[in-house]
Amino acid sequence: MIDTKLAELVDRHEIHGILLRYARGLDRLDSELTRSCYWDDAIEDHGHFVGGPDDFIAWADGTTSMFEATQHAILNHVCDLQGDDAYCETYYHFSGVTAEGPHFMSTGRYVDHLQKRNGEWRIADRVTLVEGTYDVSRAALAPSPSTAYSAEAPCQATRDRMDVSYHRPPRPRRPAETER
C-alpha cells in the first residue's frame, strides 16, 4: 500500500514539474526547455494556434518575445492518474509587460493529457482555455512597474540562459557592488 502511494506521489510531483518547466521555458525564451515538456506526437490547441510542439514553440516564442518581460504563474492543479495516463486541469495567470503599455494579462486553464512512456511523463495533448484577457494601462498600475530587464535595475534579469536562475550555484552580487 505504501509503495503504491509513494509511486503516485512521485508521478504527481513529476507531472507538476512539467507544468513548472513549461512556464519557465516560455518566460526565459528557452525553447529546448519548453520542448522537453512534450511528446513528439503531441497536439497543442492554444487558442489562436493548433499544431505540434515545434510549431507551437516557434509561435509562442514569437508572441512572448514582443514583451519586455513575461510571467506564467501555475495555480490550482488537479490530476486524475490512470496508470500511465494523467488527465490534468491547471489554472494559469499570464502577464506581459511592454515598454509603453498597455500591458497584457491572460487567465485560463491548461487541460492536459499526459502520458508516461519509458518511465518519463510528458504532455501528449493540451487544450488551453483562455478565460480572460486584459489590457492594463500604465496609469492603472500606479506606481508604474519597474522591470528587472533595464540597465537601472538593481538585479539584472535576462530572458535566456544567462539569467541568474540558470547559475549553479546562483551568483549574488557582493555588498561592495551595491554601493553607488
Those residues with Cβ within 8 angstroms of residue 5's Cβ, 6 or more apart along the chain or in another chain: none
**81 vs 13: CA distance, rounded Å:** 12
Largest Cα span, the chain: 60
Strand partners, 46: 49
> Domains of the chain by range and CATH?
2-141 (3.10.450.50)
pLDDT at 170: 78
- Band of the pLDDT at 138, cuts 50, 70, 90? low
In this prediction, residues 4-30 reach a mean pLDDT of 97
> pTM to 2 decimals?
0.84
- Three-state SS sequence of 103-142: EEEEEEEEEEEEEEECCEEEEEEEEEEEEEEEEECHHHHC
pLDDT at 165: 83
